[in-house]
Structures are given as structure tokens and as C-alpha cells.
Amino acid sequence: MKTMPNILLIYTGGTIGMIKDFETGALRNFNFDDLLKHIPELKLLDCTIETQSFESPIDSSNMNPSYWQDLASIIETRYDEVDGFVVLHGSDTMSYTASALSFMLENLAKPVIFTGSQLPIGDLRTDAKENLITSIQIAALQEKGKPKIAEVGLYFEYKLYRANRTTKINAEHFEAFASLNYPALAESGVHLSINEAALRIPNRRRKMKVYKSLESQILLVKMFPGLTIDIITHLFSSETIKGVVLETFGSGNMTNDPSFLEALRMLRKRNIPIINVTQCSGGSVSMGLYETSVALKKMGVISGKDITTEAAIAKLMYLLGQEVSMDSFKTLFETSLRGEMT
């Protein structure tokens, strides 16, 4: 007899499970069991659901790589026993966590679907129920006895995205996420429509491997007209920096003021990788297209192509954590490892 898929629901925190504090009026986390009581519909799904909660659920603004390691450990421990995972997470930093997990879990052949909500599950107008129920349904989808989705996804407001392609774009609308450089993997309407061509094809012969070593001593610098060289020099003088993500203009351009370029060259001399990502929400870095990016290309700045800033940060932490040799670092970063760049 065919058994129903078994899904592990992991609760890390976030609005979905929050309640208004009686005294302050601010939203804070509440008990996971209480959360489940609000959705009796879960019993109607064609799968069994196990649950596991962070000991102290957090607002995702407090997320950090140590929690990513905890999450990866939970997935590693339960990987062989369940058919898929749904991770409940605050929306604020969901794209960062989900991107990080996409790199930490190599040869993933089962779904890890992140979701959350803009309104708490107890709220009358909540978006939590649909997000949670459909995420579980997606995680439980099977074809010929194998999970249909075999990657880290992010489901929010009727759309399933490749997680490492997403960015939170709205703090008000239920449609809080966008994936501007990659199509949605699935859309939920009257039917659940899967974009087959966009799905990642797993290599099921390879064993899933978890990488937990992440290097956090990195810096994200967003260029803006008026940014002073004094500030840049001060930031870059830190002895501890191991890598820099540079958010540049348009297709990867920044001022070609010699003092700025010299500051970057000094970093390169210290063998510190610099990743060029665009501050545009969509489109790609293309160094050399304009004069204002030629020098960057020459000094060996790495092209983030059409990667999101969230995924660039996660990939940098991951690759630095693997102590990849500096010779292959650029090639590896510029290669799509988990479908994070085109």
C-alpha cells in the first residue's frame, strides 16, 4: 500500500506565529502548538506532518549563520526519514536564510520550502493559512514516488520561487517577494500549475551533503553618489575582512575616481575577493560594458552577474567557509552552483 508523504514542518519564528503583546502592543512570538491549533485544515491534507520548533522562536531580524547551521542540522538529521520540509520563517530575512540553505545543502533531492506571512495566523485577514497549506502541498507533491520539487523554494502569495532568486520587496502587500531574474517555479490558482522547465533537476545518485562552515567576516557596501573615500578607506582598513560584496549601479558600474579604485586594488592585493552585484532589482552585471567598470574587471573583481545581494552574501560566506583556493574562487563564484545565477 502506498503511504502518504511525510513532511517535517520546522518553525523558526516570524509574524506567522506571533501575537500582539498585551502591554506593549508589539508583535512577539508565541507557542508553536498554539499556532497549529489555528489551522485545523492541516488534518485534511494528503500527507502526514511532523513538527519541530526552534527552542526560542525568533523574529527573523535576529537571524544569523548560527541559526542557519541549526536549520541545516535539523534537515540533515531528518533527511532520510521525511519526503520534504517546510520552514516557517519571518519574511524580513527569509531570502537570506533560504539562499544560505540552498548553498549549504548540496545534491538536495527533496523540497525545502520556506514560507511565512505578513499577518499573524490568528488574524482574521491572515495570509498565513494559504501560504502554509499550499507550501505543505507543494512539499508533498510526488511524481513516480519521488518528490516533484528538489530544491530550496520560497512560497508566498500564490507563487513558488527558487529561493536563492528572491528578494523581499514589500513590507505592506501580501505579495512580499519577487524573483526578477528567474520565473516562478509554480503558481497556485484554481490549479497548482508547475513550471516544469524552471525546476532544478536533481542528481539522485549523489548523496545529499551538508556544509555548515560559513565565513561571516564579510562586508556589503552599497555605492551611492556622495559616498566618501574616507569612509571607504576606514571600512576597508579592517584587518578581519575576508570578502566584500559591492552593490554597484546599473550593469556593474561605480565611480572611477582613482582613490576609490586604489582602495579596491589594496583589497585585491590582500587577496580579498570583491563581488560586483547590481543594486537594480533586475538585470545583470556586465563589467566592461561602460568605462566605469573596466578597471574593476581588470583588477579581478568577480562578476555577480544576475545574482541577488542576498544570494551573493550567502554564496560568499559559503565559499569562504570551504576555504576554496583563491585561484579557483573567481571561477567558482561566477559559476551557477544552485541555479542562483543565469
Q: Which residues are tagged catalytic?
A: 15
Tell whether residue 12 is a contact of ligand ASP (CB under 6 A).
no
Q: Which amino acid is at 178?
A: A
Closest among 12, 28, 209 to 98, alpha carbons compared: 12
Nearer to ligand ASP, 169 or 232 (CB): 169
Shortest CB 15 distance to ligand ASP, Å: 3
Stretch that binds ligand ASP, among 10-18, 132-140, 184-192, 208-216 (CB under 6 A): 10-18
Dist. CA 61–CA 63, nearest whole Å = 5
Instruction: Scan for cell 513550471, then name that residue.
Output: 195
Give the one residue of 28, 33, 41, 61 binding ligand ASP; rule: CB under 6 A. 61
Give the one residue of 53, 91, 135, 167 binding ligand ASP; rule: CB under 6 A. 91
Give the one residue of 5, 9, 10, 15 binding ligand ASP; rule: CB under 6 A. 15
Shortest CB 116 distance to ligand ASP, Å: 5
Give the Cβ contact number of residue 267 at 10 Å: 19
Strands across the sheet with 84-88, in order?
Answer: 48-58, 6-13, 84-88, 112-115, 152-156, 159-162, 186-188, 192-194
Is the separation of the CB atoms in 274 and 298 below 8 Å?
Answer: no
Nearer to ligand ASP, 53 or 60 (CB): 60
Give the one residue of 5, 57, 65, 90 binding ligand ASP; rule: CB under 6 A. 90
Measured from each CB, the residue nearest to ligand ASP is 90
Tell whether residue 14 is a contact of ligand ASP (CB under 6 A).
yes
Give the one residue of 60, 115, 276, 309 binding ligand ASP; rule: CB under 6 A. 60
Stretch that binds ligand ASP, among 11-19, 259-267, 303-311, 319-327 (CB under 6 A): 11-19
Tell whether residue 92 is a contact of ligand ASP (CB under 6 A).
yes
Tell whether residue 59 is a contact of ligand ASP (CB under 6 A).
yes
Shortest CB 88 distance to ligand ASP, Å: 9
Backbone φ, ψ for residue 23 (5° rounding): -85, -45
Q: Buried (b) or exposed (e) across 120-131, using 16+ Cβ within 10 A?
A: bbbbeebbbebb
Three-class SS of residue 222? strand
Stretch that binds ligand ASP, among 88-96, 178-186, 253-261, 320-328 (CB under 6 A): 88-96
Tell whether residue 127 is a contact of ligand ASP (CB under 6 A).
no
> Of residues 137-176, which lie at the interface with ligand ASP (CB under 6 A)?
none
Nearer to ligand ASP, 92 or 306 (CB): 92
Closest among 67, 112, 86 to 16, alpha carbons compared: 86
Tell whether residue 102 is a contact of ligand ASP (CB under 6 A).
no
Shortest CB 194 distance to ligand ASP, Å: 26
Where are the alpha helices (H) located in the chain, listed in sequence order? Answer: 32-37, 65-78, 94-104, 128-140, 229-236, 258-269, 291-298, 309-321, 326-333
Tell whether residue 281 is a contact of ligand ASP (CB under 6 A).
no
Look up residue 71 and give its three cell numbers: 536549520
The residues near 41 (Cβ < 8 Å, ≥ 6 apart) are 129, 133
Look up residue 114 and give its three cell numbers: 520556506
Nearer to ligand ASP, 124 or 197 (CB): 124
Shortest CB 14 distance to ligand ASP, Å: 3
Shortest CB 261 distance to ligand ASP, Å: 38
Is the separation of the CB atoms in 110 and 145 below 8 Å?
Answer: no
- Report strand pairing: 105-106 vs 209-210: antiparallel
Q: For binding to ligand ASP (CB under 6 A), which residues are involved? A: 13-15, 59-61, 90-92, 116, 118
